[in-house]
Structure 1
Amino acid sequence: MKAQVNKFENSTLLNEAFSQEIADKLQAGINQNGSASLLVSGGNTPKPMFLMLSNKDIEWNKVNIALVDDRWVDLTDPASNEAMVNEALLINKASAANFIGMKTEHDNAFDAESAVSDKFKEVKRPFDVVILGMGEDGHTASIFPCCAQLEEALTTNKDIMATEPTTAPHQRMTFTKTALLNSKQLYLHLVGESKEAVLLDVAAGSDEKQAPIRAFLNQSNVPMSVMLATTK
């Protein structure tokens, strides 16, 4: 594993350091290019960090925020990552940021790939900050080892594609490996002893199809830091 691991005593200490580091990198991007981009992951892990980040004093009106992936559900569905970001991150000072969601009016995610891709064409590359999560199966974003779209998600030059895991509910829309690696800084945000155990297992192997997160941990083209706390 080529990524740098930063281990914290608890998630509060992690969130304090992580939120400040993200804010600093976003402001640096704004200073350099006039705008900055932040791609985030869903789930419960980032919520407390998002709250701290939302209060940082940076030029949020010059920040574009998007998700690395989302479940293909309505925003009223509790499974919607976009709904979570609206509630946990796009508040306080960060309410001034420009959020670009994935969900469209299409019933089927696979029919929406082109429309979703068009939404992100104006967002500058490379992305300033990309925050990934990791499932117990080693998946990241919505690139699952179980899905029929796995190989394409790891090899395509497309930025956006739909996937449908067999071990988790809902169709998904996700940025691909190629798109996520078009960034200045990658992070993997983990909390809990079980996630540390998965990380150690992942670090011991190299098969990206078995654990797609390895595609990011084992590369050296983009700086990657693991932000880990074993306790909440």
Structure 2
Amino acid sequence: MAERASQRLRALGPVIDVLLLGMGEDGHTASWFPDSPGLHEALHGMQPVVFTQPRTAAHPRLTLSRACVLAARHRHLALTGAAKLAVYQRALQAPSPEFPVSFVLERAAGPIDVWMAP
């Protein structure tokens, strides 16, 4: 299923123009949940779409890989609340599977606009 979705996404063109991400209080983004099957492939694989099975969510998911997310021309991350701000600040320190969003925030990943609401 992920392979077929990857093929269909590639057929649309080489790059996503605008990508809007959210983040959970556990540091997940784009269905990249800490300590979940498929996380390594999502973070390090080269297919545009990957299969993940979050341990803390009810259903398995198809999601974009990190390679696909980082290829987007404009990336945005929307956050709300003090708890998410604290996770965001920890994730900024260094890329870690403990906070998958950190792989989008690292300097080498390029610019991302972060929108924070109280």
Same fold (TM over 0.5): yes
Partner amino acid, structure 1, of 2:21: L
Partner amino acid, structure 2, of 1:187: H
Distance 1:221 1:207 in 2: 10
Q: 2:54 aligns with which of 157, 162, 165?
A: 165
Distance 2:98 2:51 in 1: 19
Match of 1:183? 72
**Residues 186, 222 of structure 1: 8 Å contact kept:** no
Match of 2:12, SS state, is coil
Using the aligned pairs only, state the percent identity: 33
**Residues 103, 109 of structure 2: 8 Å contact kept:** no
| Deviation of the 1:208 alpha carbon | 2.3
Match of 1:209? 97
| Deviation of the 1:206 alpha carbon | 1.3
Distance 2:6 2:79 in 1: 28
Match of 2:13? 124
Written as runs of structure 1 = structure 2, the 5 A alignment for 1:5-16 is none
Partner amino acid, structure 2, of 1:168: A
Partner amino acid, structure 2, of 1:222: G
User: Unmatched 5+ residue regions in structure 1?
Assistant: 1-111
Distance 2:61 2:105 in 1: 23
TM-score normalised by L of structure 1: 0.48
Q: How many pairs align?
A: 118
Match of 2:10, SS state, is coil
**Residues 51, 63 of structure 2: 8 Å contact kept:** yes
Distance 1:220 1:128 in 2: 19
CA gap of 1:144–1:221, structure 2 versus 1, over 3 A, is closer
Distance 1:125 1:117 in 2: 12
